[in-house]
């Protein structure tokens, strides 16, 4: 059985990266899709692990070659999900996690209606600001642009299936795993199986 495609969106600073890393460490049936971006690496980020860091020209060439499952612009930079890895891992039965913002998430929802849509939020906006400032990697101006972005993003929350509140990390990871497990058993995601049963019934 193919794995589940999982979209994880959420405010910048909500802790998506940490959640995803813990999920991968605790369970072995997940794969993380490394995105391509034109933004500069932050301190400690590794090319090919956190992102594939490319120039604008390289990114636009990949768009022309139809190399993305989705892509979008966010705070002045391109971000996109390379195609090959996603399909390869899904075929292997892995649940593939895409850590992407809302515009890209809506493209995925349109193209892959069975994708599981998760939205991660911090327990409060106060905590969000603290986390963004504690990173110490971005100027106050960039932080404010990310907050403005969050105001837009929260209008998309209703288009998601589950909300992950990232307060205590252990709890959030367990809850997220439970969401993924339960999603596999919904009627729409078991469509193929149900159709076989219906066909069998009809043939009697
Ligand atoms: P950051 O610059 O903080 O790493 O990421 C900024 C935003 O871009 C985050 O909301 C992140 O989820 C999103 N993002 C990362 N990779 C992709 C991608 O491949 N496609 C889209 N649409 N968004 C992405």
Q: Which tens digits make up the pLDDT trace of 135-166?
A: 887 888 988 988 898 999 999 999 999 999 99
| C-beta of 4 in contact with ligand 1 (< 6 A) | no
Q: Which helix (H) or strand (E) holds 41?
A: none
* CATH assignment, 5-202: 3.40.50.300
Q: How far is the CA of 15 from the centre of ligand 1 (A)?
A: 13
- Statement: residue 106 has pLDDT above 90: yes
| C-beta of 72 in contact with ligand 1 (< 6 A) | yes
pLDDT of residue 192: 87
Q: How far is the CA of 71 from the centre of ligand 1 (A)?
A: 9
pLDDT of residue 75: 82
CA distances from 135 to 44, 76, 153, 161, 186 (A): 12, 20, 21, 29, 38
| C-beta of 83 in contact with ligand 1 (< 6 A) | no
Euclidean distance between CA atoms 159 and 116, whole angstroms: 11
Atom index in ligand 1 nearest the CA of residue 11 equals 10
Mean pLDDT on 166-178: 96
pLDDT of residue 136: 80
- Statement: residue 73 has pLDDT above 90: yes
pLDDT in tens, 54-71: 999 999 999 999 999 999
- Statement: residue 169 has pLDDT above 90: yes
> Which of 146, 116, 117 has its CA nearest to residue 129?
146
- Statement: residue 198 has pLDDT above 90: yes
- Statement: residue 113 has pLDDT above 90: yes
């Amino acid at each position: 059985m193919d794995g589940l495609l999982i979209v994880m969106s959420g405010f910048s600073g909500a802790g998506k990266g940490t959640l995803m890393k813990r999920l991968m460490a605790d369970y072995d049936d997940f794969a993380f899709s490394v995105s391509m971006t034109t933004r500069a690496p932050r301190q400690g980020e590794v090319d090919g692990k956190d992102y594939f860091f490319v120039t604008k020209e390289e990114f636009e060439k990949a768009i022309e070659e139809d190399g993305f499952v989705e892509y979008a612009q966010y705070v002045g930079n391109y971000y996109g999900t390379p195609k090959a890895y996603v399909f390869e891992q899904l075929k292997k039965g892995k649940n593939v996690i895409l850590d992407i913002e809302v515009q890209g998430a809506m493209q995925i929802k349109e193209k892959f209606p069975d994708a599981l849509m998760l939205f991660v939020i911090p327990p409060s906006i106060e905590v969000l600001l603290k986390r963004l400032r504690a990173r110490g990697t971005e100027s106050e101006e960039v932080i404010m642009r990310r907050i403005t972005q969050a105001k837009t993003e929260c209008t998309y929350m209703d288009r998601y299936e589950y909300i992950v509140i990232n307060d205590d990390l252990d709890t959030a990871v367990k809850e997220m795993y439970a969401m993924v497990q339960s999603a596999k058993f919904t009627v729409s995601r078991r469509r193929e199986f149900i159709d076989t049963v219906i066909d069998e019934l009809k043939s009697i």
